[in-house]
């Protein structure tokens, strides 16, 4: 066979080569374009997760103020791309988390001009006090997402720093009304990887204590912060607290200013209103290594003991050692001495004792027949005694009582021949409480404005309590009032419950500010059997018995306006003096009490609000101020809201969906008189840890049947302490953590309309997957108003799902989130909505978050807004003597059918091409009609640019809805 001349085509081979080429091109395109886009999306999503984790880290840090516990927070520094069978990924992106400035003494916040009273004033004397702190920085190292921000935490704020601006991820917590809360960040942390790291947040110095400070009389209290944020950004964070004019009674920040720089940091100083007492609370938190402990900084008196004792008698003096953050220091040695020629003695080894876990130490001062019957100067110090150094040696006459680490107390010893008995009256506990209007006192709020003081009579004889002197450290607390006609604990301003005989005093000195005449100014000393509108006898307490003094309730009273504001007494400091007699001998003893220090309370409680006319979810939360032991119950009392006739709130068919860290059960559920939940932790709940209980199918009645607000007491079984929160059923605004809440207006007498409802998670918050938002439209439903009976709902933006729960006389929507973050807008679109005349417009729409509270907005049934119009009436040109230099005066007329014009703009161009604008004039107050405006060309070098005649004028008018009209004309 001859094949030399074979000329057949090689179609199979050529086709295979072409197919391979196509595959190569397709794969190259996939590798070059698709893979990078997918990987960039993975990096972006990772960055969003890190923002949430940095907020969790921030929350763990700021929770240390007020007694939080150690916390571990995971941060995913980098991420991984998905495996690909053929395509190639770059190396996994990484990130770094590090501290900045935490071990640099120049990086600090400073508190200036803050003065405290008593021994605390030895340290807080108005001089500047600096505290080293720093920043936590997360910096991503992505392969593709090039515009990712650097995320910072500093001074309670987490924020993203982009190239041109900073965007907060959270709010601030360092100023809230008259409370200043500062957290110093300490330690060294530096980690970089593509995996996950865990940051241990350790409290170095923290407690529930606050110190009352005020200005020095010349300069205001101020706090200076080193921050990368600008003063304007700090001022924005302090928006609710900022009141430069001094007109807002609840805001005290008067100025925010830049007072220097330190590298990339601005030194921003926040000044507070003068003449006001502030509650200063501080903490120090450690992360990473090189965390430094805090030593003792000063000593203060908690219980001063008896001012007078007899020979062979004794008195107890309780001191507290604190660090520079005003928090207790354990294990510090305190030395005591009686500076007199014939001294008494201390029941302590070598006159020394070591502080306990609360920073406290108790000295018992004993006397005998040889003790001189004179005033005795008792000296106490934490500074190591150095022989001959009069500043620190407590047994020297010239002992420096002004040193913060030194304390002096004077006790007078009287002759034993007076026959005075041995013993004392000691303070056992101090509780801040509210009586929930249980006795009809007219105080229907839930503020714990009353104080219960329990005392122990340690004498072996009966005592008679005759006088009580109360002096709040915060001098703006100036009234005691309890509106009740009866007598008993919490019924009167003063009530002392003794086992032999009770005492009470009731006042009515204020003619306004309360429901009737009531109350008495404080500070004051009150004689229990003489003072007041009504009174009884003095209180009598048998030997060795506990008795309680009830002081109800504390207020700030404005005499000029005749208004009163109840004070939350948790954390407020009181100086209380008891006068009592033993065998006709008069004693007076003074105590410094702070109800916030009472163990077994709650640092916060909350019951979220509801919207009317809906079966919905409700969240109950509480945070114990001290450890809640495993198996110890917390009872949540829902008696007040539970009412079915008329229907207010009905828990009869509600279920407990979840109970964090334990179990929750209904003790009683459908009873109008008793509706209770008992929560039992499965393990110890540390102080500062929030417990969340979620209820479903809670039914709320119509707005008109409500008796808002409803009280919800939370009670601990281990201490009996109760803290009460309240909530409301309302369409009105609350603390829902929703922003940009809006509902579209509708046209009147029109069928099949579309209406959009939109809202966003508030700045720095999320709407987690599964959380619900209820929207109550019932206020608009009506024959002459809006008919939602045939409407349908879809989610037009933001993800998630929505449905109608009620669609009859009541109209309620339920939206369920699939996970929305700060900046996302959720849009619900209603179709098939019809309207009548809109006779009762505008309508209120209520929003309720299951994990938050309520919000409200309104919409109208009104004719659609019509666009404006404008015409140019006349143009006059005044040309100068050089080129085109001159003025152009434009007369024009603007009209709007809705009469809602809000402004105009007049622009001057060198030609109709409008490429070169020569001048512009605006007026934001224009409301319509004929107006005249002059625009100028002052550049004599301008030449005609193709236009004929030389100038070209553009006039635009705009209305309140952003609609506009434009007129254009050549000169």
For 647-670, write each residue's pLDDT tens digit.
889 998 899 988 888 899 998 886
On the 0-12 / 13-18 / 19+ scale of CB atoms within 10 A, 942 is middle
Give the C-alpha separation, 770 to 519, whole Å: 50
The answer to whether the bond into 949 is cis (omega within 30° of 0) is yes
- DSSP letter string, 251-301: --EEEEEEEEEETTEEEEEEEE-TT--EEEEEEEEE-SB-PPP--EEEEEE
Residue 121, SS3 per DSSP: helix
Is residue 268 scored above 60 in pLDDT?
yes
pLDDT in tens, 599-625: 457 767 888 888 888 888 888 988 887
Tokens standing for 499?
Answer: 């086992």
The 3-class SS string of 673-707 reads CCCEEEEEECCCECCCCCEEEEEEEEEECCHHHCC
Q: Is 459 in contact with 422 (CB distance < 8 Å)?
A: yes
Which residues are registered as beta bridge partners of 549?
453, 496
pLDDT in tens, 152-189: 999 999 999 998 889 999 999 899 888 899 999 999 99
Q: Name the pLDDT band for 646 (thresholds 50, 70, 90).
A: confident
502 versus 491: the higher-pLDDT residue is 502
Give the per-residue pLDDT at 409: 85
Give the C-alpha separation, 453 to 569, whole Å: 13
Q: Name the pLDDT band for 8 (thresholds 50, 70, 90).
A: low
Is residue 882 scored above 80 in pLDDT?
no
Tokens standing for 195?
Answer: 């995996």
Give the C-alpha separation, 852 to 757, whole Å: 19
Give the per-residue pLDDT at 741: 86
pLDDT in tens, 531-589: 888 888 999 999 888 899 999 999 988 777 778 888 888 778 888 989 999 888 888 88
Residue 446, SS3 per DSSP: coil
pLDDT in tens, 691-730: 989 888 899 888 778 877 787 888 888 777 777 777 888 7
CA-derived radius of gyration, the chain: 36
How many other CB atoms sit within 10 Å of the CB of residue 212? Answer: 24
Give the C-alpha separation, 776 to 788, whole Å: 12
Give the C-alpha separation, 409 to 305, whole Å: 9
Tokens standing for 392?
Answer: 């620190």
For 401, left (φ over 0), alpha (ψ -120 to 50), or beta? Answer: alpha
Distances (CA, A) of 236 to 230, 388, 443, 524, 736: 10, 56, 36, 42, 20
Q: Is 456 in contact with 426 (CB distance < 8 Å)?
A: yes
How many other CB atoms sit within 10 Å of the CB of residue 281? Answer: 25
On the 0-12 / 13-18 / 19+ scale of CB atoms within 10 A, 436 is buried
State what percent of residues in the chain have pLDDT above 70: 88
Sheet of 917-923, strand order: 917-923, 901-909, 952-959, 964-970
Give the C-alpha separation, 167 to 161, whole Å: 6
Give the C-alpha separation, 613 to 617, whole Å: 13
- What are the φ and ψ backbone dihedral angles of 225, each rounded to 5 degrees? -120, 135
In the DSSP assignment, the letter for residue 4 is T
H/E element holding 933? Answer: strand 929-937
Distances (CA, A) of 169 to 150, 156, 288, 853: 12, 11, 23, 20
Residue 136, SS3 per DSSP: strand
Q: Is 710 in contact with 437 (CB distance < 8 Å)?
A: no
Give the C-alpha separation, 391 to 402, whole Å: 9
Q: Is 458 in contact with 425 (CB distance < 8 Å)?
A: yes
Give the C-alpha separation, 187 to 185, whole Å: 7
Distances (CA, A) of 684 to 631, 635, 645, 743: 8, 17, 40, 46
Give the C-alpha separation, 925 to 904, whole Å: 8
Is residue 233 scored above 70 in pLDDT?
yes
Give the per-residue pLDDT at 957: 92
Tokens standing for 771?
Answer: 């959380």
Strands 524-527 and 494-497: unpaired
Tokens standing for 332?
Answer: 């510090």
Give the per-residue pLDDT at 273: 93
Residue 119, SS3 per DSSP: helix
Give the per-residue pLDDT at 671: 63
Residues 117-133, mean pLDDT to the nearest whole number: 90
Which residues are registered as beta bridge partners of 371?
none
Give the C-alpha separation, 409 to 362, whole Å: 13
| Measured CA angle at 775 (ends 772, 777), to 5 deg | 165
Q: Name the pLDDT band for 397 (thresholds 50, 70, 90).
A: very low
H/E element holding 40? Answer: helix 35-62
In the DSSP assignment, the letter for residue 799 is S
Q: What is the pTM of this model?
A: 0.50
Residue 778, SS3 per DSSP: helix
723 versus 682: the higher-pLDDT residue is 682
pLDDT in tens, 200-226: 998 898 877 788 899 998 999 999 999
Give the per-residue pLDDT at 743: 92
> At which residue do the structure tokens 């923290």 appear?
206
Give the per-residue pLDDT at 598: 44
Q: Is 628 in contact with 464 (CB distance < 8 Å)?
A: no
Q: Is 917 in contact with 907 (CB distance < 8 Å)?
A: yes
In the DSSP assignment, the letter for residue 867 is P
- DSSP letter string, 524-541: EEEETTTSSSEE---EEE
Residue 206, SS3 per DSSP: coil
H/E element holding 16? Answer: helix 11-29
Give the closest residue to 509 by CA, choosing from 494, 521, 491. 521
Give the per-residue pLDDT at 535: 87
pLDDT in tens, 440-486: 344 566 788 889 888 888 787 899 999 999 988 888 888 898 866 67
How many other CB atoms sit within 10 Å of the CB of residue 73? Answer: 19
Give the closest residue to 265 by CA, choosing from 308, 315, 224, 210. 224
CB proximity list for 519: less than 8 A, separation 6 or greater: 479, 480, 481, 482, 493, 507, 508, 509, 510, 513, 555, 557, 564
Give the C-alpha separation, 627 to 686, whole Å: 5
First to last CA, the chain: 95
Tokens standing for 664?
Answer: 């929750």
Tokens standing for 835?
Answer: 């309207």
Give the C-alpha separation, 211 to 113, whole Å: 14
């Amino acid at each position: 066979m001859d094949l030399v001349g074979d000329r057949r085509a090689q179609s199979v081979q050529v086709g295979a080569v072409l197919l391979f080429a196509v595959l190569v091109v397709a794969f190259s395109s996939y590798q070059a374009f698709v893979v990078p886009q997918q990987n960039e999306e993975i990096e972006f999503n990772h960055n969003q997760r890190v923002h949430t984790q940095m907020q969790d880290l921030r929350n763990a840090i700021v929770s240390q103020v007020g007694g939080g516990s150690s916390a571990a927070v995971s941060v995913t520094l980098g991420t991984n791309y998905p495996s690909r069978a053929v395509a190639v990924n770059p190396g996994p992106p990484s990130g770094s988390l590090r501290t900045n400035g935490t071990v640099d003494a120049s990086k600090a916040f400073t508190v200036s001009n803050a003065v405290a009273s008593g021994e605390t004033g030895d340290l807080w004397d108005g001089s500047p006090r600096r505290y080293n702190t720093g920043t936590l920085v997360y910096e991503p190292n992505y392969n593709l997402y090039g515009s990712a921000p650097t995320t910072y935490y500093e001074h309670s704020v987490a924020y993203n720093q982009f190239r041109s601006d900073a965007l907060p991820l959270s709010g601030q917590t360092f100023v809230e009304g008259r409370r200043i809360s500062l957290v110093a960040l300490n330690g060294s942390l530096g980690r970089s990887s593509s995996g996950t790291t865990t940051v241990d947040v350790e409290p170095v110095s923290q407690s529930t204590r606050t110190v009352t400070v005020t200005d020095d009389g010349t300069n205001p209290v101020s706090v200076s912060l080193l921050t990368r944020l600008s003063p304007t950004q700090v001022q924005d964070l302090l928006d609710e607290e900022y009141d430069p004019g001094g007109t807002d009674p609840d805001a005290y920040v008067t100025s925010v200013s830049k007072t220097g720089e330190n590298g990339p940091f601005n030194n921003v100083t926040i000044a507070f209103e003068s003449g006001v007492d502030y509650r200063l609370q501080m903490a120090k938190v450690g992360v990473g290594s090189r965390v430094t402990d805090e030593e003792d900084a000063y000593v203060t008196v908690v219980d001063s003991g008896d001012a007078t004792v007899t020979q062979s008698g004794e008195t107890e003096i309780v001191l507290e050692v604190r660090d520079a953050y005003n928090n207790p220091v354990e294990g510090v040695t305190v030395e005591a001495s009686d500076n007199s020629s014939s001294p008494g003695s201390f029941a302590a080894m070598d006159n020394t004792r070591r502080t306990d876990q609360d920073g406290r130490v108790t000295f018992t001062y004993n006397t005998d027949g040889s003790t001189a019957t004179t005033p005795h100067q008792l000296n106490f110090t934490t500074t190591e005694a150095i022989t001959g150094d009069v500043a620190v040696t407590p047994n020297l006459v010239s002992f420096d009582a002004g040193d913060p680490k030194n304390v002096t107390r004077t006790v007078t010893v009287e002759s034993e021949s007076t026959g005075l008995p041995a013993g004392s009256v000691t303070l056992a506990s101090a509780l801040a409480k509210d009586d929930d209007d249980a006795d009809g006192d007219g105080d229907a709020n839930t503020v714990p404005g009353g104080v219960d003081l329990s005392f122990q009579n340690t004498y072996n004889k009966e005592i008679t309590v005759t006088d009580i002197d109360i002096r709040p450290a915060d001098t703006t607390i100036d009234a005691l009032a309890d509106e009740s006609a009866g007598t008993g604990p919490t019924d009167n301003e003063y009530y002392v419950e003794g086992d032999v005989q009770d005492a009470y005093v009731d006042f009515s000195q204020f003619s306004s500010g309360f429901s009737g005449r009531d109350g008495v100014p404080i500070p004051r000393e009150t004689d229990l059997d003489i003072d007041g509108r009504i009174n009884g006898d003095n209180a009598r307490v048998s030997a060795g018995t506990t008795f309680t003094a009830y002081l109800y309730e504390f207020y700030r009273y404005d005499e000029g306006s005749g208004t009163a504001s109840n004070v939350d007494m948790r954390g407020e400091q009181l100086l209380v003096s008891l006068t009592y007699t033993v065998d006709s001998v008069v004693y007076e003893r003074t105590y410094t009490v702070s109800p916030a220090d009472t163990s077994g309370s709650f640092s916060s409680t909350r019951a979220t609000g509801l919207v009317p006319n809906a079966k919905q979810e409700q969240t109950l939360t509480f945070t114990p101020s001290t450890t809640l032991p495993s198996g110890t119950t917390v009872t949540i009392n829902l008696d007040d809201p539970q009412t079915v006739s008329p229907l207010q709130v009905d828990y009869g068919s509600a279920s407990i969906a979840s109970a964090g860290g334990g179990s929750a059960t209904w003790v009683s559920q459908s009873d109008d008189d008793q509706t209770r939940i008992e929560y039992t932790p499965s393990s110890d709940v540390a102080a500062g840890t929030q417990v969340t209980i979620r209820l479903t199918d809670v039914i709320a009645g119509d707005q008109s049947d409500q008796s808002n607000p409803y009280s919800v007491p939370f009670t601990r079984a281990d201490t009996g302490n109760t803290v009460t929160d309240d909530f409301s059923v309302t369409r009105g605004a609350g603390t829902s953590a929703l922003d940009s809440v809006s509902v579209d207006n509708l046209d009147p007498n029109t069928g099949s309309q579309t209406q959009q409802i939109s809202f966003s998670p508030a700045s720095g918050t999320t709407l987690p997957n599964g959380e619900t938002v209820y929207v109550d439209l019932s206020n608009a439903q009506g024959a002459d108003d809006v008919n939602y009976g045939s409407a349908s709902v879809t989610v037009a933006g933001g993800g998630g799902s929505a449905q109608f729960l009620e669609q009859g006389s009541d109209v309620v929507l339920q939206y369920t989130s699939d996970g929305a973050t700060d900046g996302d807008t959720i849009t619900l679109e209603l179709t098939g909505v019809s309207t009548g005349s809109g006779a009762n417009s505008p309508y209120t729409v209520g929003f309720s978050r299951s994990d938050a509270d309520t919000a409200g907005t309104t919409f109208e049934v009104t004719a659609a807004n019509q666009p404006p119009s404008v015409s140019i009436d006349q143009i006059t040109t005044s040309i100068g003597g050089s080129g085109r230099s001159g003025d152009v005066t434009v007369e024009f007329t603007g009209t709007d059918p809705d009469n809602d014009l809000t402004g105009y703009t007049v622009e001057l161009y060198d030609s109709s091409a409008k490429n070169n604008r020569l001048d512009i004039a605006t007026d934001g107050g224009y409301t319509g009609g004929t107006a005249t405006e002059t625009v100028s060309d002052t550049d004599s070098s301008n030449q005609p640019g193709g236009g004929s005649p030389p100038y070209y004028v553009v006039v635009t008018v705009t209305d309140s809805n952003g609609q506009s009209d434009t007129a254009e004309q050549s000169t």
